[in-house]
Chains A and B, each alone.
Chain A
Amino acid sequence: MMLVALLDPYIYEGGVHKHGLILELLEDLGGYLVQKTAASTEVTLIMLIPRKDVHLIEELGTKLLGTITRAPMTGTEIAVVSPTLAYHHLPHSACDVAEYLRHGGANTNMIGLARGMGRRVALSADYERKLINEHDIAIFTFGTFSDCIMNKKPKLLEGINIPIVVTGGPDLNVEDIPNADMYIGNIGRVAHRLRGVDELKGLDRMNEKVGELVDRVREDIAKDPLAVLSPRVMKEIHEQIPDIHNVLAPAPITLQLDGLRVKLPYEDYHVAIEMLELDEGVLLSDVARITPSKMKNYILIKIRRRSDVGFIL
């Protein structure tokens, strides 16, 4: 029994003129606007649209001379983890990887480990692992040598319980990398911006494969759906906690596949978030775990499943 319509992520790019029609239609269909970026006369809408109604938005979008593309990574928060923040890894290729994922609609956070360099000496701290585990997917950007990627670096993946993607230079099988869920080659250590045809192909392949991974996670979640959809919680926060509009952080509410990160200080706002009224008599704290995030003093919301709560809103 499917009580919740599957939402599909799309990006609309078109003129500002009459784009309100799309927003109205989206609301009527029960979809959600994740992010709206207006730049002079152009507007970019990142939306979650009920799967069976996508064609309606497509038709309207085409009529308004805009384009609608599927952006599978919309509504996900991805950790791009580099062994350290030294110039060996940054800005290229770790930042290039993060930037490319954002093209696909993802929100990315760069995480540089304190002691992730080297082979025998590489290690990660408990705090770092917990921070990474707050995300939907972790992408570890490794280097050129297959021996390091297969034999030494995987210890950095231990204790990470979200899907793990590893990028590196050589062509390897994911089975050879313990604990990794996906390996993407051709993106190794580089000291220049990735703009060669082959390099961009590697990044395109990465977006495609990470997109597939996100789709798989979404299907998995749909089997035992979340008690409430995270975009719905976002909408309620926008309406019930007006202070969110004063937050200057990029993406004040960051959607995740099974929750949200709210960039308000935990100590001042966690009560308000817990008391967020989703329906008559149903508070957010009834259907979600609200905890302090390891990232700054933000609030992390993880929504519970139907089997746990017993109902869906």
Chain B
Amino acid sequence: MMGMEPLETFVVQTTVEAEAAPYRKIIEDVISDLMIAGAIGRLKIVVRPEDSLFQMVTILREGLPLMKVDDFADVGKGTSMGEVQIMIREERPLPRLLESLWARYGRGAVTQPERRTLLITVGDPKTEIPLIKEMVVDDPRRTLRSRLVDMAIRSTPEGFRVRYHSLDDNNFIFVASEDPMKQEWIDEADKMLDELKGDDVSGIA
């Protein structure tokens, strides 16, 4: 399952064949609105309006790395004793970085004399520098989860408010209806997922 292309499989099926293309367009818009295309490897959606049923299975792409301080900043000794200096190259993760630093060292210990420079008063820079370098600032998987749920809810016809979902490893299953959930619908979705997994582009099932 490694090395999937973004959205290498993207299938939308509806009872009336002609209605699949317009519905696919809605999903495309939702995916691009949520900027989630890069995270999805394979996606299959089945809508059966006559049963009030919406099923979606997704295989997420692997290898979304954690964002560490070392990835976007140079960490080194400061000018004075017991001080660590962080020179950031990218400003976007700064608010999260500040939050993590405040949590660990306290607000008073962190100063920002200049836009891209942070100074932190720590006990022992020697032990703290490697620690700060490895500090995780952002976990794309975590925000991904909420965006994925958002995508599922936006893609569903609005009235389908009885929902089942499961996210395990890279596999996301979502079933929605306006009627009480049926086990067979969930089983169907599980089967869809198995098919999607087997549908390997390399040709090796």
Near B by CB (< 8 A), chain A positions 46-88 give: 83-84, 86-88
With both chains docked as a complex, state the minimum distance between the C-beta of B171 and any C-beta of chain A, in angstroms: 25
Cβ B157 vs Cβ A118 within 8 A? yes
CA distance A143 to B53 in the complex (A): 15
8 Å CB interface, B1-45 against A: 14-16, 18-19, 22-23, 25-26, 29-30, 33
Find out whether the CB atom of B30 lies under 8 angstroms from the CB atom of A118.
Answer: no
Q: How far is the CA of A104 from the CA of B50 in the complex (A)?
A: 37
A143, B16: Cα distance in complex, Å: 14
A119 shortest CB reach to chain B, Å:
5
Provided the pairs A118-B157, A120-B178, A147-B50 are in contact, do residues A192 and B29 lie with their beta carbons within 8 angstroms?
yes
Complex CA gap A144/B24 in Å reads: 11
B27 → chain A, closest Cβ, in Å? Answer: 9
Residues from chain B with Cβ under 8 Å of A170 in the complex: 16, 18-19
CB of B49 within 8 Å of the partner chain: yes
Nearest to A152 among chain B residues (CB) is: B49
Q: Indicate which residue in B14, B47, B159 contacts A121 across the interface (CB closer than 8 Å).
A: B159
User: Nearest CB to that of A89 among chain B residues?
Assistant: B158
A267 to B118, CA, bound (A): 64
Query: Which listed residue, B16, B25, B159, touches A118 by the CB 8 Å rule?
Result: B159
Interface size counted on chain B using CB atoms at 8 A: 24
- Say yes or no for A191: interface residue by CB 8 A criterion: yes
**Which chain A residues lie closer than 8 Å to B185 at the CB level?**
none
Flag if B49 contacts A147 (CB, 8 Å).
yes
- Output the nearest chain B residue to A169 by Cβ-Cβ distance: B22
A188-B22 in contact (CB<8A) = yes
Q: Which of B22, B23, B157 contacts A88 (CB 8 A)?
A: B157
Residue A160 at the chain B interface, CB threshold 8 Å: no
A190, B154: Cα distance in complex, Å: 12
Bound CA–CA A8/B23 (angstroms): 41
B160:A118 contact, CB within 8 angstroms: yes
For residue B37, give the distance in angstroms from its CB to the closest CB of chain A: 14
- Tell whether A117 is near chain B: CB-to-CB under 8 Å: yes
A112-152 residues with Cβ-Cβ distance < 8 A to B are 117-122, 143-148
Q: How far apart sit A89 and B26, CA to CA, in the bound complex (Å)?
A: 11
Is A189's beta carbon under 8 Å from chain B?
yes
Closest to B20 in A: A144
Q: Are B154 and A145 in contact (CB under 8 A)?
A: no
Residue of B whose beta carbon sits closest to that of A88: B158
Task: Say yes or no: B154 contacts A88, CB within 8 Å.
Answer: yes
- Asked if B71 is an interface residue, CB under 8 A from chain A, the answer is no
The answer on a CB contact under 8 Å between A191 and B16 is no
* A190 adjacent to B158 (CB under 8 Å): no
- Please name the residue on chain A nearest to B48 by beta carbon: A147
| B16 near A117: Cβ-Cβ < 8 Å | no
- 13 A-B pairs within 8 Å (CB atoms) are namely A117-B158, A118-B157, A118-B161, A120-B52, A120-B178, A145-B16, A145-B157, A146-B16, A146-B19, A147-B16, A190-B22, A191-B26, A191-B33
User: Which B residues form the contact surface with A (CB < 8 A)?
Assistant: 14-16, 18-19, 22-23, 25-26, 29-30, 33, 47, 49-50, 52, 154, 157-161, 178-179
**Can you list the 4 inter-chain pairs with the closest CB atoms, starting with the nearest?**
A118-B159, A191-B29, A117-B159, A145-B49
Taking Cβ atoms with an 8 Å cutoff, the residues of A that contact B are 83-84, 86-89, 117-122, 143-148, 169-170, 188-192
Q: Given A118-B160, A145-B15, A147-B16, list of 20 further CB < 8 A pairs? A: A83-B158, A117-B158, A117-B159, A118-B159, A119-B178, A120-B179, A121-B159, A144-B14, A145-B14, A145-B16, A145-B19, A145-B47, A170-B18, A170-B19, A190-B25, A191-B25, A191-B26, A191-B30, A191-B33, A191-B154
